[in-house]
Amino acid sequence: MTVAHASATSQGAPANARPLVDADVHAVVPSTEALFPYLSAHWRDHVANTLMKGVVENAYPRFAPTTARAGLDAPGGPPAGSSLAALRQDVLDQDGVEYAILCCTYQVDSLHNPDAATAFSQAANDWLAAEWLDQDPRLRAGIVVPVHYPELAAREINRVGGHPGFVQANLPARTTFPLGSRVNSPIWDAIARNDLVAAIHFGGAPGTPPTPSGWSSYYLEDYAGMAHVVQSQLVSLITEGTLESHPQVKVAVLEAGFTWIGPFLWRFDKEWRNLRRLVPWVRRAPSAYFRDHFRFTIQQLDATDRDDHLLQAIDQIGSEQVLMYSSDYPHRHAKSPDRLLNIVPTSLADRIRADNAKALYGL
């Protein structure tokens, strides 16, 4: 694949004039109390009368510069991303938007009581279904799962996987065990059984350090280093044979950047050639599995201001089917996704805007 600059016509056209599928839009649980209609009396009483008040971690600290765009969050008000009315105004009603894929990063993996993790996963999914999916036909969503309890996660995927609005299962990038570990086989079996996409998203609260070197000191370290965590998950899924045993499963990688893909695949292929006798079930080069199974959203757009550098990074991916448009609403990023759409050829821009996501999610 060789990516050239877009024509003057496509450069001058509005980036959202043609059909658009936004593959990463956040639906934020505004408070534990918002889930009360979907929790049993036992858990409502538990929240009201014990120190347990719901999830205890959040990948997006309230009022951090990256958490919300200017004007979308204010002290004393609901958190950005928690209002369907605001989502309609800011995303769904913009020109060309046909669908938005909701990602609720409610960190139930920070709950180490398995019963609580299950109950709050169920409540979050029932809240998503009733207050978002059933209210607007343009919405689809990922299932919130207690990923740290694979059998319970599989049970929750099976419970709501038949709802037509749920198109994927959300798996945080940081997990107790690598996602390809056979410990997680029940999750992959359930995803395949329900014909869902697996979505690996920024974040996670497994109680283990976010780096191989131990605990970081600052949020910047966690934020900038998340791409390395995602890379480790890709290595795990391919090397441990998850995609051989579940050949129909597709994986959407959300909010992890993509400009690192080319060099990452070069190294992965090289080391596989040296060491493939150790993993004979990996029958093809890792880059072949990657292009068949993985899709990436374009935010975060990690690139220099030089268009030729960005085009080179896109070309290094080696496939026009990998990238999908995302606004990552309501999060704030330094680069607009429109920049990418306006420098690639029209045919590739159309794939990124909508076609790749439609093919992935059967829209």
Residue with the larger pLDDT of the pair 320 and 304 = 320
Laid out side by side, the sheet with 294-297 consists of 20-26, 97-103, 139-144, 166-172, 197-201, 251-254, 294-297, 323-324
What average pLDDT does the segment 320-343 reach?
A: 89
What average pLDDT does the segment 89-97 reach?
A: 92
Give the pLDDT of residue 4. Answer: 55
Give per-residue burial for 306-322: e unless 16+ CB within 10 Å, then b. ebeebbebbebbebbbb
Q: Which segments within 131-266 are labelled E, that is strand?
A: 139-144, 166-172, 197-201, 251-254
State yes or no: pLDDT of 276 exceeds 70: yes
Instruction: Tell me the average pLDDT of the chain.
Output: 91
Q: Which of the listed ranges 8-17, 82-91, 212-221 does the model predict with the highest average pLDDT? A: 82-91
- Nearest of 124, 113, 199 to residue 156 by alpha carbon: 124
State yes or no: pLDDT of 286 exceeds 70: yes
Q: Which segments within 222-280 are labelled E, that is strand?
A: 251-254
What average pLDDT does the segment 121-133 reach?
A: 98
State yes or no: pLDDT of 221 exceeds 90: no
* pTM beyond cutoff 0.75: yes
What average pLDDT does the segment 243-256 reach?
A: 96
Residues 6+ apart with CB under 8 A from 139: 92, 99, 100, 102, 132, 133, 165
Give the pLDDT of residue 164. Answer: 96
State yes or no: pLDDT of 11 exceeds 50: no
Residue with the larger pLDDT of the pair 148 and 205 = 148
What is the residue type of 103? C
Give the pLDDT of residue 5. Answer: 52
- Residue found by looking up tokens 């909010």 in the block: 255
What average pLDDT does the segment 154-176 reach?
A: 97
Q: What residue ranges define each of the domains in the chain, with the CATH number in brackets?
A: 21-361 (3.20.20.140)
pLDDT category, 17, cuts 50, 70, 90? low
Find the range with the poorest average confidence among 57-61, 80-84, 100-104, 282-286. Answer: 57-61
State yes or no: pLDDT of 2 exceeds 90: no
Other beta carbons less than 10 A from residue 13's beta carbon: 16
Residues 6+ apart with CB under 8 A from 271: none
State yes or no: pLDDT of 7 exceeds 70: no
